[in-house]
Amino acid sequence: MSFAITADFIGSENAKANDALADDYQALGRQLARRGISIEEMTERAMAYAVAVPTWGVGTGGTRFARFPGPGEPRHIHDKLEDCGVINQLTRTTPNVSPHFPWDKVGDYNALRQEAASHALGFDAVNSNTFQDQRDQNRSYKFGSLTHADKGTRAQAVEHNLECIEIGRQLGSTALTVWIADGSNFPGQANLNAAFDRYIESLKAIYDALPKDWFVFLEHKLYEPAFYATVISDWGSSLMAALELGPKAKCLVDLGHHAPNTNIEQIVARLIRARKLAGFHFNDSKYGDDDLDSGSVDPFRLFLVFSELVDAELRKAEGFAPAYMIDQSHNVTDPIESLMASAVEIQRAFVQASLIDRKALQAAQDDSDVMLGHRLVKQAFITDVSPILAEARRRKGGAIDPITLYRASGYRARKTAERPPVGGTSAGIV
Ligand SMILES: [Mn+2]
């Protein structure tokens, strides 16, 4: 019988922190009431918020130099679901997982769907992989996949995406995320226009195979592994493609896939306006696509992104229904701890952004009162909403302090004993 954290254990650990939480929650409630904000309303918003976890995120990631495996790592999708189940059990914000193929391939997807449900998990967008070669594959993706100069290679990459749609259909997903590593490392390696044309042609074949209620999410990335010109390098290219493909194609924003200092919240606002915002791959970065934990380096940027999202939600922007997902690489931490901390930070940014007095902000903007407008935004950001997040978790049966409880449970040590190491675990993705 495999080890699991019980509701009783959560209850007894929470009991130790209950009084302090009640105290902090009441104090914050009084502070917010003075600002005309109902803490109950904010707690309900926090309880309703959800962000998906990627199956590859629970394995230890690596860099271009090395990967240092952690103890008790998941060996396959079954272990990954177990770990993802713990993340949701303690944080109550990650009820869906985003699978990746072929890494998560199994024989029976109905059984996998049931297995996920036994961990109280459902499936989010499916991710295709044409950025590396698989053992049984005929043609190599070394020089590209959906935009390869060779027609047969493009057809093989399209076929893989169609298979992902079919698997996702069985799992209950309603979206396919397509990120391609295609691009060139040298001027002269590829024709920049022809590569984009081939991308559209391949994506059209995938688009046509989407079930009625499905979307295809196009993910752009500025560089890496192509270091001269990535085919879908930025949100402009992504938007061009999404517009050409049709209403079921939308643009996914991975926070790490832009040039340093890019104003991502403005890109988000533009994509919302174009009704083309698919959703997010959340992570944080200092220099490039660092895939660090969400909110660990620049929580203010994450908050400003959510400020645009909450603004769109409150004014009921047409076609606004973003999919939220974490996409990180955990190289030096326990991935379960990193994913729990990240889910909490993302939820924190959402609640903080919900605190902005939008009416007062608009009045300040209409009056060109620069300092007041800035102070209204900043006031929301510096409000410590931790008691709201903890109370939301407690009410849903989660942990008041997820990481402390996880450590006390001994989960990792128990899994290390249960999971003898195997070679070649799949982790670390862009
Ligand atoms: Mn991503």
Instruction: Summarize the confidence of residues 235-244 as an average pLDDT.
Output: 98
Inform me whether the pLDDT recorded for 318 exceeds 80: yes
Distance 359 CA to ligand 1 centre (A): 35
Distance 352 CA to ligand 1 centre (A): 24
Write the DSSP assignment of 124-165 as a string of letters. --EEE--SS--TT-SS--TT-STT-SSHHHHHHHHHHHHHHH
The beta strands (E) that lie in 69-207 are given as: 96-98, 100-101, 122-123, 126-128, 175-178, 183-184
Query: Cα–Cα distance between 96 and 85 in angstroms, integer?
Result: 9
Question: Strand, coil or helix: what is 95?
Answer: coil
Inform me whether the pLDDT recorded for 427 exceeds 60: no
Distance 256 CA to ligand 1 centre (A): 8
Distance 383 CA to ligand 1 centre (A): 29
Model confidence pLDDT, tens digit, residues 386-403? 999 999 999 999 999 999
Inform me whether the pLDDT recorded for 276 exceeds 60: yes
Distance 70 CA to ligand 1 centre (A): 22
Distance 127 CA to ligand 1 centre (A): 10
**What distance lies between CA 57 and its chain's CA centroid?**
10
Distance 164 CA to ligand 1 centre (A): 17
Distance 67 CA to ligand 1 centre (A): 19
Give yes or no for a contact between 141 and 148, defined as CB atoms under 8 angstroms apart: yes
Element (H, E) at 87: helix 77-91
Q: In this structure, is the dihedral angle defined by the CA atoms of residues 205, 206, 209 and 212, taken in order, positive or negative?
A: negative
Q: What are phi and psi of 147, to 5 degrees?
A: -120, 10
255: CB partners within 8 A, 6+ apart: 264, 280, 281, 282, 283, 284, 285, 294, 301, 302, 305
Query: Cα–Cα distance between 394 and 398 in angstroms, integer?
Result: 5
Inform me whether the pLDDT recorded for 345 exceeds 70: yes
Distance 408 CA to ligand 1 centre (A): 32
Inform me whether the pLDDT recorded for 429 exceeds 90: no
Give yes or no for a contact between 96 and 52, defined as CB atoms under 8 angstroms apart: yes
Give yes or no for a contact between 291 and 328, defined as CB atoms under 8 angstroms apart: yes
Inform me whether the pLDDT recorded for 424 exceeds 80: no
Distance 253 CA to ligand 1 centre (A): 8
106: CB partners within 8 A, 6+ apart: 77, 112
Tell me what pLDDT residue 117 has.
Answer: 98
Inform me whether the pLDDT recorded for 354 exceeds 80: yes
Query: How buried is 379 (Cβ within 10 angstroms: 0-12 exposed, 13-18 middle, 19+ buried)?
Result: middle
Distance 293 CA to ligand 1 centre (A): 13
Instruction: Summarize the confidence of residues 200-219 as an average pLDDT.
Output: 98
DSSP 55: G
Distance 38 CA to ligand 1 centre (A): 35
Distance 201 CA to ligand 1 centre (A): 23
Distance 430 CA to ligand 1 centre (A): 5
pTM metric for this prediction: 0.97
Give yes or no for a contact between 91 and 399, defined as CB atoms under 8 angstroms apart: yes
Distance 254 CA to ligand 1 centre (A): 5
Distance 285 CA to ligand 1 centre (A): 13
Distance 286 CA to ligand 1 centre (A): 16
pLDDT tier for residue 1 given thresholds of 50, 70 and 90? confident
Half-sphere exposure of 158 (CA within 13 A, CB side): 21
Inform me whether the pLDDT recorded for 425 exceeds 90: no
Tell me what pLDDT residue 420 has.
Answer: 86
Model confidence pLDDT, tens digit, residues 133-142? 999 899 999 9
Distance 51 CA to ligand 1 centre (A): 14
Distance 192 CA to ligand 1 centre (A): 23
Terminal alpha carbon distance of the chain: 35
Distance 280 CA to ligand 1 centre (A): 8
